[in-house]
Amino acid sequence: MGKIEAKVNARRRSAWAGTAGVAVTLGVTELLAGLSPSIPSAISSIGSYVVDVTPAWLESFAISTFGTADKAVLGLSMVIVALLFGWLLGNNSSVSPWPILIGFALFAIVGIAAQLGDAAAETGIVVVSTLIAGVVGLLTWYGIREWTKPKERDVTDGDIPSIERRRLLLAVGAAATVSVLMIGVGRAKIRSRAEAQLEALDLPVPFTAEKDPTGENDFDLKLVAPIVVSNTTFYRIDTALVVPAIDPEEWTLTIHGMVDKEVVLTYDDILNMPLVEKYATLACVSNEVGDHLVGNALWTGVPLPDILNLAGVQPGADQIVGRSVDGWTAGFPTELAFDGRDALLAVGMNREILPANHGFPARLVIPGLYGYVSATKWITEIELTTWDGFDGYWIPRGWAKEGPIKTQSRVDRPKSGGRIPIGTYVFGGVAWAPTVEIEQVEVQMDDGPWQTAELTEPLSTNSWIQWAFETDVSEGPHTLRVRATDRTGQTQSELRVAPRPNGAEGWHMIRFVATT
């Protein structure tokens, strides 16, 4: 083997060994995070920082493109970038170890800084765990590089490059497998901690309860979203890469700012207050016309006015700011908590303890407002301040400060591009206008007249409704449009408006084919 070829092979071995070293480092960090609640996930912590510094247009693009999978895409992208970083470091460390030593040191500093931004992090434990992960990663790099190096005894085999490749493939494959297993175990441990806490809790019987939906409240049409969306299928949009695992015995809610007195409530304090049930539809401002980042559920909680009255709202405090344990914030006008729209500090969802991914132990539910200005999950603070005194997380990123949900409707049945049988067919979908209700839904087949659809009875003024329209359909391609009118008399505009900065507008239209 010539000297040039030997150098090339050495760089290749070192590069792939560096990739394996980073993979193992990530695996160890996630495993340790699963073993100790004092060690936040490094991937999630760094990811949260990345989300915070990501340009608003890119965040909006990610949500509109990937929907509820945006976090998985971000996490995978970060892992890929880290592995490429390891490859470059290893490639430049075939002769001297300094590049990879410096690179891992920088990696450790970034990881520690990001992890310490988590409220549950303990500095000493985080530093030690990061050092352990880094050392294991470096040893992996060194071990693979040395093990795959040709030995004198290999010369007699006559195919040194082949031996190198086999060893390298085996070593990198083993490192990747171990890393995936460690990440899987770590994430499973984190989830199990949260699930164990939830399973040990019971949701108290509410002081006032809503009726269960009856058959007349649901057309029971295939493909049409149910009136009450289950906890497992309810959409989730937030900035947390990993759902916070919060100990309810240590969690508190602080009401402060422009109040007569600061109040700190424990989880038990809230559960012992008179609880109510309210149906309410929530929607994400990034929801495109016809998309599914919207849902209706039965929420159990304490009326927000009751919480605020414990502290006493001072004159001039015209904004309520919610803060999450992960630092996320949202603000809305104080008057909307007191105008009768059933604003809640929710602790339950569909008669179950609030699921971790929807905000356990408590969250805000403010009907009629998009989530980005109101729906603080994992809430730990409520601050009373002035309207000009604070901007929530999304406002500096180019979204409107006020976010009332716009009247919208959607075709669910059939799916766009689908095929249906010719003859009589029942079209269906949902429509929503929280706090003002839907008055009428109309559909238009092809370029024909607008015709009125049948509606379900609303569960509350804040709930969406289903619509259904039965008609005969001839063979061939067709289009179907839908529009809704709310009880204020406002009908959806045909003009398409993008979600940014304050919500999408326009009629939802689908194309389908009727065939035998």
| Cβ within 8 Å of residue 504, ≥6 positions away | 287, 288, 289, 406, 408, 496, 497, 498
Q: Which of 341, 368, 397 is the last residue of a domain?
A: 397
Q: Which of 364, 397, 430 is the last residue of a domain?
A: 397
Number of folded domains that form the chain: 3
Beta-strand ranges (E) seen in 269-369 are 276-283, 294-303, 319-324, 329-333, 344-349, 352-353, 363-365
Cα separation, 100 vs 295, in Å, equals 48
Structure tokens at 458: 């609303």
- Residue 108, domain member (yes or no): yes
What is the percent of the chain with per-residue pLDDT over 70, rounded to a whole number? 95
Region 426-454: mean pLDDT is: 97
CATH code: domain of residue 352: 3.90.420.10
Region 431-455: mean pLDDT is: 97
CATH code: domain of residue 424: 2.60.40.650
151 versus 230: the higher-pLDDT residue is 230
| Residue 235 confidence (pLDDT) | 96
Whether 166 and 276 share a structural domain: no
Per-residue pLDDT of 470-509, as tens digits, reads: 999 999 999 999 999 999 999 999 999 999 999 999 999 9
| Cβ within 8 Å of residue 342, ≥6 positions away | 278, 280, 303, 367, 460, 462
| Residue 50 confidence (pLDDT) | 79
| Residue 351 confidence (pLDDT) | 95
Inform me whether the pLDDT recorded for 163 exceeds 90: no
Whether 385 and 272 share a structural domain: yes
Whether 314 and 456 share a structural domain: no
Whether 42 and 145 share a structural domain: yes
Q: How confident is the model at residue 220 (pLDDT cuts 50, 70, 90)?
A: confident
Whether 163 and 97 share a structural domain: yes
- Residue 88, domain member (yes or no): yes
Whether 274 and 383 share a structural domain: yes
Whether 187 and 291 share a structural domain: no
Cα separation, 12 vs 247, in Å, equals 47
Whether 304 and 264 share a structural domain: yes
- Residue 217, domain member (yes or no): no
- Residue 210, domain member (yes or no): no
Domain of residue 438 covers: 408-515
Among candidate residues 429, 445, 512, 447, the one with its CA nearest the CA of residue 480: 445
- Residue 368, domain member (yes or no): yes
| Residue 487 confidence (pLDDT) | 97
Q: How confident is the model at residue 196 (pLDDT cuts 50, 70, 90)?
A: confident
Cα separation, 370 vs 136, in Å, equals 46
161 versus 511: the higher-pLDDT residue is 511
Structure tokens at 259: 């109040």
- Residue 215, domain member (yes or no): no
Q: Which of 155, 181, 199 is the last residue of a domain?
A: 199
Helix (H, G, I), strand (E, B) or coil at 171: helix
Whether 281 and 387 share a structural domain: yes
* CA-atom Rg of the chain in angstroms: 28
Whether 312 and 453 share a structural domain: no
Structure tokens at 227: 């009136």
Region 22-36: mean pLDDT is: 94
Q: For all residues of the chain together, what is the average pLDDT?
A: 91
- Residue 270, domain member (yes or no): yes
Cα separation, 297 vs 281, in Å, equals 6
Instruction: Report which secondary-structure segment, H or E, holds 381.
Output: strand 379-385
Q: How confident is the model at residue 157 (pLDDT cuts 50, 70, 90)?
A: very low
Per-residue pLDDT of 94-151, as tens digits, reads: 899 999 999 999 989 999 998 888 777 899 999 999 999 999 999 999 999 998 887 6
Whether 386 and 349 share a structural domain: yes
- Residue 221, domain member (yes or no): no
Integer angstrom CA distances of residue 409 from 431, 462, 498: 4, 15, 15
Integer angstrom CA distances of residue 199 from 195, 268, 355, 357, 360: 6, 16, 10, 14, 12
Whether 178 and 285 share a structural domain: no
